[in-house]
Structure 1
């Protein structure tokens, strides 16, 4: 009974926290919509064209040359993720045909028989942290943005293999395009 009571309290706390985060996200969405409504028709067309260019950039398979995997599991995870290049981004999905960023990484590691948490924030708390980009190995998890809301797999040569955002596809991209925080070796 005591264990059940403790779990109910944890659940209530989690529910409260999720409600707070939902309100925060809804507020940001409302601000974005309000800002979007201030744009002229020409500005909206330019924005749509720029987004279409970003969404389709890098959907083709990029030759990265010879890639030496960092470890057996990391190499297997990276190979699995490579097989999904061109798959569409879909928030909350972890394959096998659509992915969000952490869905791709958790799916890829599952193909290597390694279970990792589902969210980028939880994935940031496993394994060995690597702060220097020059110490990263192919297949290491790499995290971006201060709140760690984005994760991908290090591809070597300063590149990340990831599922970037809505409207985009799994692709390679320069790590310099996002604020790198650290890597994790699983």
Structure 2
């Protein structure tokens, strides 16, 4: 009887461990990112205590099972180039903010929006076509091969925190 109880107990533990591993594999982009909004910016940061831009993307992709370097220019060397009109949630978007080279990265989350760790504001989402700053500095996008990203979903807008950028001006005719 004792052996049977011990066997059932061990089988239960193994099943629980397998369930946890499966749950980790099924993290979606939205689930990972939604817990990080408001995390402060920290130079060279790569944890929930604070992120720089590439530390943030590295943290998110690590949770999705993809290893990235902690440098935006190095991340730009990975994946397949994606045209701006073909962006999908999970694509990395890159910017030249220093006037010389790739110096900022974020993650496209759909509806013309990307999430990133911005100096002075931390993890926020911002419109990619922000005419005052980000649109002018956009360099390109890359798509990484990750099974979980194939099932990426557009985030629930109620949970997302929109960056308080300057208001968009209507398009001139």
TM class by shorter-chain length? 0.5 to 0.7
Residue 140 (structure 2) aligns with: 182
Q: Residue 159 of structure 2 corresponds to which residue in structure 1?
A: none
The correspondence for 1:143, drawn from 94, 99, 104, is 94
Question: Comparing both structures, which one devotes a greater share of its residues to strand?
Answer: 2
- Aligned mates of 1:171, 1:81 — CA distance in 2: 10
Which structure has the higher relative contact order (CA within 8 Å, separation 6+)? 2
Q: Residue 91 in 1 paired to residue 43 in 2?
A: yes
Q: Is the 8 A contact 1:143 1:182 kept in 2?
A: yes
Corresponding residue of 2:125? 172
Question: Are the counterparts in 2 of residues 77 and 110 from structure 1 also a CA contact under 8 Å?
Answer: no
Cα deviations by residue, 1:140-186 (Å, 9 ceiling, x for unpaired) = 11001161100000011111100011x21201111123121111111
Runs of at least 4 residues off by over 4 Å: none
* Runs of 5+ unmatched residues, structure 2: 1-24, 145-173
Q: When the two structures are superposed, what TM-score results if normalisation uses the length of structure 1?
A: 0.56
What is the RMSD computed on CA atoms of the aligned residues?
1.7
- Determine the structure 1 residue equivalent to 2:81: 129
Distance between the aligned counterparts of 1:175 and 1:97, measured in 2? 26
Scaled by the length of structure 2, what TM-score is found?
Answer: 0.60
Aligned residues: 111
